[in-house]
Chain A
Amino acid sequence: MAGETRAWFEITRDVLRAHNVRLIPYVPDNVLRPLIALLEADPFFTVFTCTREEEAVGIACGAWMAGTHAMVLMQTSGFATLPNVLASLPVPFQIPILLMVSERGTLGEFNIGQTLVARTMRPALDSLAMEHHTLSRVDEVEFIIERSIRQAVATHQPATFILSPLLTGGKVF
């Protein structure tokens, strides 16, 4: 981990592969572009867009129950559409889906709507008692994702990774 030479998205790809997380339903985001491109280029993964984040969570939950682990990609404003389905599907049914959220609304945001909705994300996760980690340093990405996947599967609970602009550079204007 010290002396890490890979980018965050390459590390993410490698950890997902190592843990057999094959299905990636997503709603697009600019910061996630390099990760989406890497996963789409790799036949190990099934990667496709959904019309809403809720739909992607439903697909991920169905896939887990039928034997395929999935991670849903989205941005902060998309996460804000999810509390109802998180509270009625993966959390109570104990389904260890993974969520990766590109964080907008902070550290140089230009859209006030994004700054406001971003503040609802961690309180929503905390109030659902959902495990979540903010990835801000490239040398911590592998450890956090790898340990969290193991924990999610072992405890039958979903896990969320928040990609800080400190890690990704964010979206600048």
Chain B
Amino acid sequence: MSGHLNQPRTRADAKVMDRFNLTQRMVGKLKREEAVIGGIGWSNFDLWAVGHRPQNFYMLGSMGLAVPIALGVAIAQPARKVIALEGDGSILMQLGCLATVGARAPRNLAIIILDNGGYQITGGQVAASELGADIVAIARGAGITQSAWAADEAHFEELVDRALTEDGPWLIGCRINNNKPVATTERDPSLIRDRFMRGMGVKA
């Protein structure tokens, strides 16, 4: 990702985009049954709204664990690409997992951070990400060297293409607006788990 590492250099330089639109663009690129772990709240609501895939896992609670769950999937199935879709508030709760990803360096893992600078689902309180905490810089510091802010939608697609075809780990930071999600994920944990395991080829 050498051509993009410093483009844009900081969160402030990245375009503010739309969560549903980015999620649609990302899902549209998944042709090889890639796994997607959707973090709690609006991150996985829009993943659901784009259209259910058997390889999608939707969290209910356990805030901050999208990246660890995705890392577990990536370790168990090294031939499959795995994407963690996580919010800024969620990843701020579990920053240590970035160090674990940096240390393990899973080649098949990509992390997409949807950063709206706040806790929108609880009423829009400001998060540290809005006040100077640059998650891409934190990820680089944690050892995930292939970390970048998406400059705009076209650049986001370019980064996702690379993450799906080249060795990771990757972290793609996306600034997003505060638009509400398009739908709400069906809240049935055992069904979500069962469908995901079938999507992973673990259950027939």
Contacts and interface: CB of A to CB of B under 8 A. Distances in A.
A62 B76 contact: yes
A59 B200 contact: no
B71 interface: yes
A55 B97 contact: yes
Interface residues of B, number: 37
Given A66-B200, A93-B193, 15 more contacts: A46-B75, A50-B96, A51-B100, A55-B94, A55-B100, A58-B69, A59-B75, A61-B72, A62-B70, A63-B72, A63-B75, A64-B72, A65-B200, A66-B77, A94-B190
Nearest to B35: A66
A56 to B, nearest CB: 8
B72 A66 contact: yes
Given A51-B100, A54-B64, A63-B73, A93 B192 contact: yes
9 contacts: A23-B76, A54-B62, A57-B68, A58-B67, A58-B97, A59-B72, A62-B37, A67-B76, A93-B60
Contacts of A85: 61-62, 65
A93 B195 CA distance: 11
B35 to A, nearest CB: 7
A52 interface: yes
Contact of A84 (B37, B61, B76): B61
Interface in B158-204: 189-190, 192-193, 196-197, 200-202
Contacts of B75: 23, 46, 59, 62-63, 68
A55 B77 contact: no
Contact of A88 (B62, B74, B100): B62
Residue in A49, A59, A85, A94 whose Cβ sees the most chain B Cβ within 10 Å: A59
A31 B16 CA distance: 50
A71 interface: no
Interface in B41-69: 57, 59-62, 64-65, 67-69
Interface of B: 35, 37, 57, 59-62, 64-65, 67-77, 80, 94, 96-97, 99-100, 103-104, 189-190, 192-193, 196-197, 200-202
Contact of A94 (B57, B65, B193): B193
Contacts of B200: 65-67
A163 interface: no
A87 B189 CA distance: 12
A74 interface: no
A57 to B, nearest CB: 8
A85 B192 CA distance: 17
A23 B104 CA distance: 13
A89 B99 contact: no
Contacts of B192: 93
A93 B190 contact: yes
A54 B94 contact: yes
Given A62-B72, A63-B73, A70-B72, A92 B189 contact: yes
Interface in A37-59: 46, 48-52, 54-59
